[in-house]
Amino acid sequence: MSYLLLKTLGKRSTQLSRILLFSSLSSQSSNNCVSNNSLSIFHSWYNSSNRRNKGSTKNPCGSTWGVRCLSSEAAAVEATTSDGLTVEGIIAKNWNILDESENDWKSHASSIAQSIHLIKKRLKWKRLIDRLEVLSAQLNKADLWDDPVHAGKISREHGSLMNKMEDVMAIEQELVEHIDMIKLSREENDTELESESVKALLRIRRNVKEKELEALLSGEHDYCSCFIEVQAGAGGTESMDWASMVMQMYKLWAQRKGYGVSVVDEMPGEIAGIKRATIKVDGENAFGYAKSEVGVHRLVRISPFDSAKRRHTSFAAVAVTPILGDGSTRVQINESDLRVERFRSGGAGGQSVNTTESAVRITHIPTGITASCQNERSQHSNKASALAVLQSRLDQLEMARQAQMNAQHTQSLTEISWGNQIRTYVLHPYRMVKDLRTNYEVSDPDSVLEGDLDDFILSFLSTSLDKDEE
Peptide bond into 429 cis (omega under 30): yes
- Fill in the DSSP letter of residue 69: P
Shortest approach of other proteins to residue 375 CB, angstroms? Answer: 8
Question: Within 371-390, which residues bind other proteins (CB under 8 A)?
Answer: 375-381
Q: Which is nearer to other proteins, 163 or 248 (CB)?
A: 248
d(C-alpha 280, C-alpha 106), whole Å:
47
| 341 part of the interface to other proteins, by CB under 8 A | yes
Shortest approach of other proteins to residue 363 CB, angstroms? Answer: 12
d(C-alpha 67, C-alpha 139), whole Å:
13
Q: Which is nearer to other proteins, 57 or 378 (CB)?
A: 378
Shortest approach of other proteins to residue 305 CB, angstroms? Answer: 20
Shortest approach of other proteins to residue 355 CB, angstroms? Answer: 7
What are the helix and strand counts (H, E) for the chain? 15, 11
| 275 part of the interface to other proteins, by CB under 8 A | no
Output the 3-class SS for 264-319.
Answer: EEEEECCCCCEEEEEEEEECCCHHHHHHHHCEEEEEEEECCCCCCCCEEEEEEEEE
Q: Which is nearer to other proteins, 381 or 417 (CB)?
A: 381
Which of 82, 163, 262, 345 is in the footprint of other proteins by CB under 8 A?
Answer: 345
| 368 part of the interface to other proteins, by CB under 8 A | no
Exposure letters 296-305 (e unless 16+ CB within 10 A, then b): bbbbbbebee
Q: Which is nearer to other proteins, 269 or 288 (CB)?
A: 269
| 337 part of the interface to other proteins, by CB under 8 A | no
d(C-alpha 290, C-alpha 219), whole Å:
13
Instruction: Check if the beta carbon of residue 132 is closer than 8 Å to that of residue 70.
Output: yes
d(C-alpha 213, C-alpha 413), whole Å:
23
Q: Which is nearer to other proteins, 148 or 343 (CB)?
A: 343
Shortest approach of other proteins to residue 245 CB, angstroms? Answer: 19
Q: Which is nearer to other proteins, 309 or 377 (CB)?
A: 377
- Region near other proteins per CB under 8 A, out of 8-16, 71-79, 140-148, 337-345: 337-345
Q: Which is nearer to other proteins, 350 or 429 (CB)?
A: 350
| 254 part of the interface to other proteins, by CB under 8 A | no
| 210 part of the interface to other proteins, by CB under 8 A | no
Q: Which is nearer to other proteins, 18 or 251 (CB)?
A: 251
Q: Build a one-symbol-per-residue string for 51-70: x at contacts with other proteins by CB under 8 A, - elsewhere.
A: --------------------
Angle at 166 between CA 123 and CA 6, to 5 degrees: 140
Which of 358, 372, 438, 462 is in the footprint of other proteins by CB under 8 A?
Answer: 358
| 354 part of the interface to other proteins, by CB under 8 A | yes
Which of 27, 49, 50, 355 is in the footprint of other proteins by CB under 8 A?
Answer: 355
d(C-alpha 420, C-alpha 319), whole Å:
11
d(C-alpha 458, C-alpha 370), whole Å:
32
94: left (phi over 0), alpha (psi -120 to 50) or beta: left
| 346 part of the interface to other proteins, by CB under 8 A | yes
Instruction: Check if the beta carbon of residue 279 is closer than 8 Å to that of residue 202.
Output: no
Instruction: Check if the beta carbon of residue 422 is closer than 8 Å to that of residue 297.
Output: yes
- Region near other proteins per CB under 8 A, out of 72-80, 271-279, 322-330, 335-343: 335-343
Q: Which residues pair with 373 in a beta bridge?
A: 360
Instruction: Check if the beta carbon of residue 396 is closer than 8 Å to that of residue 321.
Output: yes
| 148 part of the interface to other proteins, by CB under 8 A | no
Q: Which is nearer to other proteins, 84 or 347 (CB)?
A: 347
- Region near other proteins per CB under 8 A, out of 9-17, 99-107, 137-145, 350-358: 350-358
| 340 part of the interface to other proteins, by CB under 8 A | yes
Strands 295-302 and 311-323, how do they pair? antiparallel
| 8 part of the interface to other proteins, by CB under 8 A | no
Q: What share of the chain is helix, strand, coil (3-state, %, to 5)?
A: 55, 15, 30
Footprint of other proteins on this chain (CB under 8 A)? Answer: 268, 340-342, 345-358, 360, 375-381
